[in-house]
Amino acid sequence: MQLNYFNQPYFGNGDIEKISKVLTLNGIKKPLICSDPGLSSIGMTDKIINLISDDFSSSFYGETPANPTEKSVNDALKIFNNNGCDGVVGFGGGSSIDLAKAVALMANHGGNIIDYSVVEGGYRKIAETIPMIAIPTTAGTGSEVSDGALLVMNDGRKLIFASPHLRPNAAICDPELTIGLPPFLTAGAGMDALTHCIEAILSPIIDPPAEAVGLDGIEKIIKQEGLIRAYKDGNDKEARWNMMMASTEGAMAFSKGLGAVHSMSHAAGANQELNLHHGTLNAVILPTILKFNHNHVGNKYSRIASSMGINKSVNLADEITKLNEIIGIPNGLAEMGITEDMIPELVKHSITDPSNITTPRLPTEKEWENLFLEAM
């Protein structure tokens, strides 16, 4: 089936076999496939290359890091230019898809990539990119339907890039590609999707349709136990389908914005030595921000609780903490390698993050510091 969304993503088990058709529909004859070493090591990238018919001349970049960097974009762009590619395929998690978006952008835009970041006013500078197709192999970021990307710059900042032109021209969401995903990645990606749904709902922007989509995503993740089931049994096809759909819904929902969880996780995720997983950071930080926002979101916590299938009076932060324990999420930022001496720099980064535009309660500098300490 195809979802009735801007880029009408194909969604269904086995839909990866439509790759040649989708390339043709988007006028791509010489695709650059962007992926990561993990998928290459288990033969996943061979699968997609073998599915692309001989009518196409494919190139490959398989070194996408856990948090895509300015350097990795430039490395992939060299392959694109040297081989005369005319389109990009992001095959992997959100990192590979975000990197593919950046390559598609820089393939026909001049200057340096940092010029197109949100903090540099890049939203207005981004025009139509070359064709780009997204094929997620995790259920978390929803990057296949979002108009944004996250990249770590050479100066160490993790910056947001956003424009309708960065939304992939097409997407193939095949839940079977996530079967066998290791439990720790299933957990981190799933909590990324859940955080997207929750923060989108808590955003003060008025957009009832987006909130409805986010609430449905929460129901699939929690009430229908999509995340716990997929974590405990990686071959559970129904759970994998629900998590892939919830991931896509999370990104559809956050068209109305995100919040302080992402401001903090972007700051912590910019540390290239630690190279921390974005979704796992979100999971660790989410309970702290739920406590902080508690009296600033009207009746939204009770609506979220209903979608979770729990009593409206239950403490949401406590419920997320319990879920984290079940799925093996680290018990605080300290377990992930963050130290207290890093907090001043993390605060500095958080204060300037664009996610603050739609957070329901904007922390002061001292509150940012206390939030990081609480999340430790």
Return the bridge partners of 44, or none: none
Residues in the chain: 376
pLDDT at 215 over 90: yes
- Do 27 and 160 belong to one domain? yes
Q: Work out the pLDDT band at 272, boundaries 50, 70, 90.
A: confident
- For residue 267, name the pLDDT band (cuts at 50, 70, 90): very high
Q: Are residues 202 and 171 in the same domain?
A: no
Does the residue 5 lie in any domain? Answer: no
Please indicate, yes or no, whether residues 41 and 146 belong to a single structural domain of this protein.
yes
Q: How large is the average pLDDT for residues 252-258?
A: 96
Pair (145, 225) in one structural domain: no
Q: Which of 133, 159, 177 is the last residue of a domain?
A: 177
Q: Are residues 70 and 149 in the same domain?
A: yes
DSSP label of 158: E
CB atoms within 10 A of CB 365: 12
Residue 42 has pLDDT above 90, yes or no: no
Query: pLDDT-based confidence at 339, cuts 50/70/90?
Result: very high
Q: Tell me the C-alpha distance between 37 and 357, whole Å.
A: 35
Beta strand 158-162 pairing with 170-173 = unpaired
Q: What is the largest CA-CA distance in the chain?
A: 59
| H helices present in the chain, as ranges | 19-25, 37-41, 44-51, 70-82, 94-106, 183-202, 208-218, 226-232, 237-253, 260-269, 278-293, 300-308, 316-326, 343-351, 365-375
pLDDT bracket for residue 180 (50, 70, 90): confident
**Residue 279: inside a domain:** yes
Which domain range does residue 339 map to? 181-375
In a domain, 21, yes or no: yes
Residue 3: the pLDDT is 94
Answer yes or no: is 293 within a domain. yes
Say if 77 falls within a structural domain.
Answer: yes
Residues pairing with 60 in the sheet: 33
Q: Each residue of 228-246: pLDDT tens digit?
A: 999 999 999 999 999 999 9
Region at 328 (left for phi over 0; alpha for psi -120 to 50; beta for the rest): left
Q: How many domains does the chain have?
A: 2
The reported pLDDT for the residue numbered 243 is: 98
* Cα–Cα distance, 28 to 10 (Å, whole number): 17
Check whether residue 361 and residue 253 sit in a common domain.
yes
- Under the banding of pLDDT at 50, 70 and 90, the label for residue 285 is very high
Confirm whether 4 is domain-assigned: no
How far is the first Cα of the chain from the last one, in angstroms, to the nearest whole number? 43
Regarding whether 193 and 171 lie in a shared domain, the answer is: no
Q: What is the mean pLDDT of residues 148-177?
A: 95
Q: Is residue 31 part of a domain?
A: yes
| CA–CA gap between residue 150 and residue 155 (Å, rounded) | 14
19 and 151: one domain? yes
Percent of the chain surpassing pLDDT 90 = 93
Contacts of 341 (CB under 8 A, 6+ apart): none
Mean pLDDT of all residues belonging to the chain = 96
Instruction: Give the SS3 label for residue 95.
Output: helix
Domain CATH code at residue 37: 3.40.50.1970
Whether 1 is in a domain gets the answer: no
Phi, psi of 2 (to 5 degrees): -120, 135
In this prediction, residues 7-13 reach a mean pLDDT of: 96
Domain end call among 117, 142, 177: 177
CATH code for the domain in which residue 278 is found = 1.20.1090.10
Confidence label for 28 from pLDDT (cuts 50, 70 and 90): very high
pLDDT tens per residue across span 74-113 = 999 999 999 999 999 999 999 999 999 999 999 999 899 9
Predicted local confidence at residue 61, as pLDDT: 97
One domain for residues 237 and 279: yes
Q: Are residues 239 and 162 in the same domain?
A: no
The pLDDT value recorded for residue 298 is 96
Single residue among 177, 203, 235 that ends a domain in this structure: 177
- As a whole number of angstroms, the distance between CA 156 and CA 121 comes to 19
Is the domain of 170 the same as that of 209? Answer: no
Q: Is residue 91 domain-shared with residue 224, that is, in the same domain?
A: no
Sheet holding 10-11: strands in order across?
10-11, 170-173, 132-136, 87-92, 31-34, 59-61
Q: What is the DSSP string of 279-326?
A: HHHHHHHHHHHHHHHGGGSTTHHHHHHHHHTS-TTS-HHHHHHHHHHH
